[in-house]
Amino acid sequence: MVPGENSGSAGMIIDERYKVKAIFIGHLRFRCIAPVSDELRVRGQAFDRHWVFLPILTNPQRLFMLFAYAAKVGKCRPKRDRQSREAERTVKESGSMNKSKVYYSDFRTRLGVSQGAKLQKLIKKAGIGDIDFKGKFVAIKMHFGELGNFAYLRPNYVKAVADVIKELGGKPFLTDCNTLYPGSRKNAVDHLMNAEINGFNSVTTGCYIIIGDGLRGTDDVEVPVVNGEYCKTALIGRAVMDADIVISLSHFKGHESTGFGGAIKNLGMGCGSRAGKMNQHNDGTPQVDRDICRGCGRCTAECGSNAISYGDDRKAFIDPNICKGCGRCIGACAFDAISNINESAGEMLCCKMAEYTQAVCYGRPCFHISLIMDVSPNCDCHGENDAAILPDLGMLASFDPVALDQACVDLCQQAAPIRNSQLGDNLAKPDWHHHHDHFMDSNPNVHWKETLAHGEKIGLGTRQYELIVVK
Ligand code: SF4
Ligand code: SF4
């Protein structure tokens, strides 16, 4: 009400944002409210803006008129007030536009509520249901854990996610690609057996496993990397690229090469075929350990480039001028005599991983889930898992893999290190160079920040996030 305008005995209750909640009119004329100061004047009397209350209307018709006027009243705020509100809204909206939402639940549960149910609630709140799953093939990318490693995610968590996808009409399958290095997951047969031994099967998870890059790790698709600086294309397992939708379900932990393993590691490195992993890991060719080689000739049969020859001692030799770096021979050797030794610099590895993730995710629906638990210092690719360096912190989900990894990193950095662990032992050393960074204090030669910075640079996501707690 503008001072000087006689409105008679008008009354209202105004909340802190000046929105009219209720109005009572005692006179015929009622025009508008236009507060020009921190107080509102009605009939010459000053009222606090938050509490203006005048005589009670008894006539129902007048009450009807009053509500009709309420909308008008709302539009009659002074100009400067509306402008400042609009400015506030713009700042708020631009701020939220630059931030991705990351949903978080800790591992606490009430009696009778399972962790699986809590995870399902989390991903539903995070908006997984916004994806149109109906009749679509859904790749759930995860890591089945190397034989001997006990830190990988339990199949129960996978089932919780797969059940939600099925509920939403999707056709989920579990997938991972073969490893570059010798081990228990270097071809599809060993890989599937490994997964079975570690508890992943159609009963425990509710879906089947398809190894992404086929029997020998060579079934891949060359995918353009949008905004790629180090990789113009990425070699991704065919089954991963054939899927309509990708769900990353990652065990968030430490990593000896990349600092931490989360969504970007799971997708970028994990979805690369053997040649794709080669591209990320090195700029050269694999080499043969002549002490181990038995001259069986198997690698030669595998090599499509005729890059392998033999000396008089019947030991294999890889010609770096001919080798294409596909890595097929590594998986072929039953004696683990061939390995990749020309590691890329750590920073470049992290950047390439982000670019491979871009290739996997670009142009199709993706959703990312990470569980910070059993935070081993190294990758689940190890045939062992050292004690956790940090406590179990919770489950997180987001549409943005960069924001999700950043949120997981931040939670980890805020947590207290576990004393009897690689991190705890390092920190307890009197001459330890303290990095004030749990991942670097666990594995000092890592460059984990590059992964997130480069992911942001190429448009994979943002490091700015809003953490939304789901109880
Ligand atoms: S497959 Fe292995 S053992 Fe056989 S020749 Fe090649 S490197 Fe040597
Ligand atoms: S990496 Fe590929 S091209 Fe090179 S030697 Fe091995 S199989 Fe042949």
Q: Relative to the CA of 328, which ligand 2 atom is closest? A: 7
Q: Are 286 and 339 in contact (CB under 8 A)?
A: yes
Which stretch of 39-48, 237-246, 315-324, 383-392 has the lowest confidence by average pLDDT?
A: 39-48
CA distance 115 to 121: 10
**Is the confidence at residue 452, as pLDDT, over 90?**
yes
pLDDT at 253 over 80: yes
φ/ψ of 339, rounded to 5, equals -145, 165
319 touches 346 (CB < 8 A):
no
Query: Is the distance from the beta carbon of residue 339 to the nearest atom of ligand 2 less than 6 Å?
Result: no
Per-residue pLDDT at 290: 93
Amino acid at 379: C
Among candidate residues 326, 322, 334, the one with its CA nearest the CA of residue 298: 334
113 vs 121: CA distance, rounded Å: 11
Q: Say which ligand is closest to the CA of 305.
A: 2
> Which residue did the predictor score with more confidence, 94 or 295?
295
Contact 211, 191 (CB under 8 A): yes
Q: If you average pLDDT over residues 316-335, what whole number do you get?
A: 81
Indicate if ligand 1 lies below 6 Å from the C-beta of 460: no
Using CA atoms, how far apart are residues 243 and 175, in angstroms rounded to an integer? 10
Residue nearest to atom 3 of ligand 1 (CA): 293
Q: Whose CA is nearest to atom 8 of ligand 1?
A: 293
Q: Which residue has the higher pLDDT, 363 or 11?
A: 363
Global confidence as pTM: 0.72
Ligand 1 site-directed mutation target among 333, 336, 339, most atoms within 8 Å of CB: 333
Mean local confidence (pLDDT), 261-266:
98
Ligand 1 centre distance from Cα of residue 338 (Å): 7
Query: DSSP of 400-467, one letter per residue?
Result: -HHHHHHHHHHHHHHSPPPSSSHHHHHHHSTT----S-HHHHHSTT--HHHHHHHHHHTTS--S-EEE
Buried b (16+ CB within 10 A) or exposed e, 417-438: beeebbbbbbbeeeeeeeeebb
Segment among 243-247, 251-255, 348-352 with least mean pLDDT: 348-352
Which stretches within 34-168 are classed as H helix? 60-75, 79-98, 115-125, 155-167
Q: Is the CB of 308 under 6 A from ligand 2?
A: yes
pLDDT band at 344 (very low <50, low <70, confident <90, very high): low
Better-predicted residue by pLDDT, 188 or 66: 188
Q: Report domain extents, the chain.
A: 10-79, 100-281+344-469, 287-339
d(CA 392, CA 211): 29
Beta strand extents in 256-377 (DSSP E only): 259-261, 287-288, 308-310, 316-318, 338-339, 366-372
On the question of pLDDT at 325 being above 90, the answer is no
Pairing of strands 39-42, 45-48: antiparallel
The pLDDT of residue 174 is 98
pLDDT score, position 85: 52
As a whole number of angstroms, the distance between CA 189 and CA 216 comes to: 9
| Over residues 398-416, mean pLDDT | 98
Helix, strand or coil, per DSSP, at residue 177: coil
Q: Which pLDDT belongs to residue 305?
A: 79
pLDDT of residue 239: 98
**SS3 (DSSP) at 342:** coil
Q: CA–CA separation, 142 vs 139, rounded Å? A: 9
pLDDT in tens, 194-208: 999 999 999 999 999
Secondary-structure percent of the chain, ordered helix, strand, coil, rounded to 5: 35, 20, 45
Taking Cα atoms as reference points, which of 35, 41, 30, 37 lies closest to residue 4? Answer: 41
Percent of the chain exceeding pLDDT 70 equals 77
Res 18: pLDDT: 34
The whole-number average pLDDT for the span 24-49 is: 40
Q: pLDDT tens digits, residue range 132-145?
A: 999 999 999 999 99
Higher pLDDT, residue 303 or 102? 102
pLDDT reported for residue 349:
87
Report the C-alpha gap between 269 and 260 in whole angstroms: 13
Most confident among 3-7, 28-32, 304-308 (mean pLDDT): 304-308
For 191, residues 6+ apart whose C-beta sits below 8 A from its C-beta are 144, 176, 178, 184, 185, 211
Q: In testing the pocket of ligand 1, which one of 298, 300, 329, 340 has its CB within 8 Å of the most ligand atoms?
A: 298
**Is 402 within 8 Å of 455 (Cβ atoms)?**
yes
Domain 287-339 of CATH type 3.30.70.20: yes
Mean pLDDT for the chain overall: 83
Residues 149-181 have pLDDT tens digits of 999 999 999 999 999 999 999 999 999 999 987
269 C-alpha vs ligand 2 centroid, how far in Å?
A: 19
Q: Among 18-32, 74-88, 126-140, which range has the highest average pLDDT?
A: 126-140
* Both structure tokens of 117: 């149910």
Q: CB under 8 Å to 466, separation ≥6 — which residues?
A: 96, 99, 100, 101, 102
285 CB under 6 A from ligand 2?
A: yes
Q: Is the pLDDT of residue 22 over 60?
A: no
Pocket probe mutation, ligand 2, options 181, 282, 285, 300, max atoms within 8 Å of Cβ: 285
Please tell me the residue having the least CA distance from ligand 2 atom 4: 323
Query: Nearest residue CA, atom 7 of ligand 2?
Result: 303
Q: Kindly give the distance from the C-alpha atom of residue 330 to the centroid of ligand 2, in angstroms, as a whole number.
A: 8
Q: Tell me, what's the pLDDT at 380?
A: 94
